[in-house]
Structure 1
Amino acid sequence: MKYLVTGAAGFIGSAVIERLTQAGHQVVGIDNLNDYYDITLKEARLTRAEHELFRFIKLDLADREGIKALFATELFDRVIHLGAQAGVRYSLENPLAYADSNLVGHINILEGCRQTKVKHLVYASSSSVYGLNAKVPFSTKDGVDHPVSLYAASKKSNELMSHSYSHLYDIPTTGLRFFTVYGPWGRPDMAPFIFTKKILDGETIDINNNGDMWRDFTYIDDIVEGVIRVAELPPVKDEQWTVEAGSAASSSAPYSIYNIGHGSPINLMDFVKAIEDELGIEAKKNFREMQAGDVYQTFADTTDLFEAVGYKPDVTVKQGVTEFVQWYKSFYQIK
């Protein structure tokens, strides 16, 4: 197959590219290499993904003509759309970046898929779409109409736009709601990276909601395995489906939504303890109130994913934290 992977220099994107090329697929990756976080890390990820079957093109998702020309020239079989402006807190500071990348960018990808009859579009949604939902575990059958950040709202919008294209143009689309992804090559704006760096530097780490928070931490290898398996399973129409009786995660159109999470959330303080144990350093902690746009708990119901592709994440937090800390020390040359 010939794949397009957007967000090629990103945490998940670079790992997906590595798996695809190892399996013999041809991959074109795009990324705008913006400076939301350290560009040298993004460039290092691209170096890691280098392969004779991989080609990188620097391109912004919001570049309508550029994206249109890319699709017309390359004629992809499948698209894995992982590029986006990430970050809940940053969406409070720079909302227009989310409109350009996550809304305009997503419609540009959908249009490219429509014009060239792509066989399957898999795209990144987020556990953030569950917003004010208090019922756990979070199920794709639940309503997600009350996001608490613009980032979450943009991801919910991606799901809605994708459904309309699946319905109108028979484009198979699958949205994946990722749950707190971590591991080697991770994002510097995420808690595992921030905590590790500050603990090693002797700085104080901020503990939101006084430590009473729960996250469904999911290791990168588990995420990538799920993405690859889902990409090979385009959704099909279900003529018997109705709005009144059907799941919100499926449709009469070739459309589906899955959670990808470990399915066993842990307390934030337990995650911090795992990092402390691996580093052999006790963190200096500043306990503070819940922050704007944050949620108390994430917890994935992955039943549908398991039934569809036969895979359930299984890397424990202890294993994952060990792998991350060892990578961090190696990458930043810390003894």
Structure 2
Amino acid sequence: MTPGSHTILVTGAAGFIGSAVSARLALLGHRVTGCDNFNGYYDPRLKSSRVEALLAPCDVPCPAVELADAAQVNALFERARPTLVVHLAAQAGVRYSLVNPNAYLQSNIIAFGHILEACRLHRIKHLLYASSSSVYGGNAKVPFSEDDRTDEPVSLYGATKKANELMACSYSHLYRLPATGLRFFTVYGPWGRPDMACFSFTEKLQRGETIPVFAGGRLRRDFTYIDDIVEGVLRLLFKPPPDEVKPPHSVFNIGNNQPVTVIDFIHTLERVLGVTARLDLQPMQPGDVEATHADTAKLQAWVGYKPTTSLASGLTHFRDWYNQWSTIRPA
């Protein structure tokens, strides 16, 4: 599939990854339609700000659509008439799945089923969808390879993402729908989610508040910068699984392949911000895993790409954005 000019639907376009992907696709000359449900998982004003700052200048519409409603999904596809779909809408977060499991069943299972059915009916040429490193569960073998077992998730969030992979694989088998799942590894950077470590730790450090640190800070995470994620998404979008593969479905890790402990992440953030953290050491939380570490050999072999942004560089970019954002953020 040549990059050319395509009509592309991006779900979750007001989200962290979705807004960055949508803007990049539009700047490359594609006709992009977005959608989001603008839910209250975190302050929806951040989503609205992403739309205003990233999507509006590129003429990317982003109407409110509830993907768990089949009628709304069908109407969306009828309006957008996409040839490619990037499905990034989901209920994210491991810990929140302990609090509100129904949100994950609605957004990650029912909504995804509606997306698959719409892709079938509209003969989509390639569905690219978000999975997660959480599918690896408590796997002790690192780095995580796409061939590793993923049948023992330790969180409902991880279970729903594994379910997405199985659902997509079945549609690929039954209807020859080319589909690619992306196992993202701890994405951070400008316009990130405020519940994730990069954003929430920065907020607390700037306010002089204590940072909760689980499992003594020894947990290791493969922090991956947003621009690296976007580059991987775009390369994979225009190179679907070949039609002769049965089924035409594949999954890829997109991670930095350089995990660091959470305590080292905090120390790097301290240096970038020029402040000292006060830590509140807490036990390991339910649903957490000891480590995430992406094996990116498959990604490199298929599209010739490997994320390279260092943690210090990525956090510096985030700091510069945060300092600007904090002066204009909604009160």
Task: State the TM-score bracket (shorter-chain normalisation).
Answer: over 0.9
Query: How far has the Cα of 1:52 moved from its partner?
Result: 5.1
The superposition leaves residues 267-317 of structure 1 with CA deviations (integer Å, 9 ceiling, x where unpaired) of: 111110111111111000011111010111000000000111111101000
User: Where does residue 39 of structure 2 map in the other structure?
Assistant: 34
Question: In the aligned structure 1, how far is the partner of 2:319 from the partner of 2:58?
Answer: 30
- Structure 1 stretches of 4+ with a deviation exceeding 4 A read none
Query: How far has the Cα of 1:329 moved from its partner?
Result: 1.4
* Secondary structure of the structure 1 residue equivalent to 2:180: strand
User: Where does residue 3 of structure 2 map in the other structure?
Assistant: none
The answer to whether the 8 A contact 2:138-2:290 is kept is: no
User: Where does residue 309 of structure 2 map in the other structure?
Assistant: 315
Q: How does 1:17-56 map to 2 (within 5 A)?
A: 17-48=22-53, 49-51=55-57, 53-56=59-62
The answer to whether the 8 A contact 1:188-1:194 is kept is: yes
User: Where does residue 260 of structure 1 map in the other structure?
Assistant: 254
Residues 11 and 113 from structure 1, CA distance in 2 versus in 1: closer, same or farther, beyond 3 angstroms? same
Q: How does 1:71-220 map to 2 (within 5 A)?
A: 71-220=77-226
The superposition leaves residues 87-117 of structure 1 with CA deviations (integer Å, 9 ceiling, x where unpaired) of: 1000000000001100001001001100000
Residue 297 (structure 2) pairs with residue 291 (structure 1): no
Question: In the aligned structure 2, how far is the partner of 1:263 from the partner of 1:86?
Answer: 22
TM-score normalised to the size of structure 1? Answer: 0.94
CA-based RMSD of the aligned residues comes to: 1.1
- Which letter maps to 2:282? R
- Which letter maps to 1:14? S
Residue 235 (structure 2) pairs with residue 229 (structure 1): yes
- Which letter maps to 1:18? A
Q: Matched residue pairs, number? A: 322
Query: How far has the Cα of 1:238 moved from its partner?
Result: 4.5
User: Where does residue 247 of structure 1 map in the other structure?
Assistant: none
The answer to whether the 8 A contact 2:222-2:257 is kept is: yes
Query: How far has the Cα of 1:69 moved from its partner?
Result: 1.8
The answer to whether the 8 A contact 1:26-1:53 is kept is: no
The answer to whether the 8 A contact 1:4-1:76 is kept is: yes
Query: How far has the Cα of 1:53 moved from its partner?
Result: 4.4
TM-score normalised to the size of structure 2? Answer: 0.95
Query: How far has the Cα of 1:71 moved from its partner?
Result: 1.4
The superposition leaves residues 16-47 of structure 1 with CA deviations (integer Å, 9 ceiling, x where unpaired) of: 01100000000110001011101111111011
The answer to whether the 8 A contact 2:177-2:248 is kept is: yes
* Secondary structure of the structure 2 residue equivalent to 1:17: helix
* Secondary structure of the structure 2 residue equivalent to 1:333: helix
Question: In the aligned structure 1, how far is the partner of 2:56 from the partner of 2:177?
Answer: 30
The answer to whether the 8 A contact 1:184-1:324 is kept is: yes
Question: In the aligned structure 1, how far is the partner of 2:182 from the partner of 2:80?
Answer: 25
Question: In the aligned structure 2, how far is the partner of 1:238 from the partner of 1:297?
Answer: 36
Higher mean alpha-carbon deviation, 66-75 vs 279-288, is at 66-75
Runs of 5+ unmatched residues, structure 1: 240-251
